[in-house]
A and B are shown apart, each in its own frame.
Chain A
Amino acid sequence: MNFVKRAGLSLRARKVRTAVLLGIFVVICTLLLGGFLLQGATARQEADAQRTIGVDVTLKGKALTPALADRLGSSPQVHRYNPRLPIEAGARGIEPLESDVPRPGGDRSGAKTPRPLALNGVRDSGLLLPFSYGSNKITAGRGITPEDAGRRVAMVEKRLASTNGLKVGDTIRALSADGKNTVPLTVVGIYRDATPDPTRWTPPHLLPGNTLYVPVRAAQQLSPGTADLAEAVFRIGSPEQAEQLHAEARRLLGTGPFDFRVNDKAYKDQVRPIQRVGTFARLIVQLIALAGALILGLIVMLQIRERRDELGMLLSLGEKKWKLIGQHTVEVAAVALPAVALAALAGQIAAQQAGDALLGHQESASSPRPRSPDAVADSPEMRVQPSDLGKVAGIGLGISLVSTVVPGIGILRLHPRSILTDSE
Chain B
Amino acid sequence: MTTATDTATEPPPVLRLDGVSHTYIGQRRRTTVLKNIDYSFRRGTFYTVLGPSGSGKTTLLSLASGLDAPTRGTISFNGQDLTKLGLGRYRNKHAATIFQHYNLLTYMTALQNVTTAMEITGVKPGSGGRRARALELLERVGLDKHMATRNVMRLSGGQQQRVAITRALACDVDILFADEPTGNLDEDTAQGIIDTFRELAHEQDKCVVVVTHSQRLAAQSDRVLTLRKGKLTE
Residue in A closest to B168 when the chains form the complex, CB atoms: A317
Name the distance in Å between A329's Cβ and chain B's nearest Cβ.
Answer: 17
Query: In the bound complex, do residue A9 and residue B103 qualify as a contact, i.e. CB atoms below 8 Å apart?
Result: no
Query: Does B220 interact with chain A (Cβ within 8 Å)?
Result: no
Residue ID in chain B nearest A2 by CB atoms: B119
B107-142 CB contact bits vs A (8 Å, 1 = yes)?
A: 110001000110111000000000000000000000
Say whether B97 contacts A316, CB under 8 Å: yes
- Cα distance, A14 to B151, chains bound together (Å): 12
The residue from A13, A318, A420 contacting B92, defined by CB atoms under 8 A apart: A318
B111 CB, nearest partner CB in chain A, Å? 12
**Residues in B whose Cβ lies below 8 Å from that of A424:** 101
CB closest residue in chain A, given B61? A417
CB pair B105 A313 closer than 8 Å = yes
For residue B161, give the distance in angstroms from its CB to the closest CB of chain A. 14
Give a binary string over B154-193; 1 marks a CB under 8 Å from any A CB, 0 the rest: 0000000000000000010000000000000000000000
Task: Tell me if B104 counts as interface (CB < 8 A to partner A).
Answer: yes
Interface set of B (CB-CB < 8 Å, partner A): 62, 65, 67-69, 87-93, 96-97, 99, 101, 103-108, 112, 116-117, 119-121, 151, 171
Contact of A313 among B62, B90, B92, B104 (CB under 8 A): B104
Beta-carbon contact of A320 and B103 below 8 Å: no
Besides A318-B90, A319-B92, 8 new A-B residue pairs in contact (Cβ under 8 A), listed by A number:
A10-B107, A309-B106, A313-B105, A314-B120, A316-B99, A317-B117, A415-B69, A420-B99
Complex interface residues of chain A between 298 and 330 (CB less than 8 A to chain B): 309-310, 312-320
Residues of A in contact (CB 8 Å), total 24
User: Which residue of A is nearest B113, CB measured?
Assistant: A313
**A317 to B168, alpha carbons, bound, how many Å?**
9
A317 touches B91 (CB 8 A): yes
Among all A-B residue pairs, the 10 with the closest Cβ atoms: A318-B92, A13-B107, A417-B68, A417-B67, A318-B91, A313-B103, A417-B62, A2-B119, A415-B68, A317-B120
Check: A75 CB closer than 8 A to any chain B CB. no
Assembled-state Cα–Cα distance A417/B66 (Å): 9
User: Complex Cα distance A424/B112, Å?
Assistant: 23
Interface string of A2-27 (1 = CB under 8 A from B): 10001001101110000000000000
State which of B96, B116, B151 has its C-beta within 8 Å of the C-beta of A2: B116
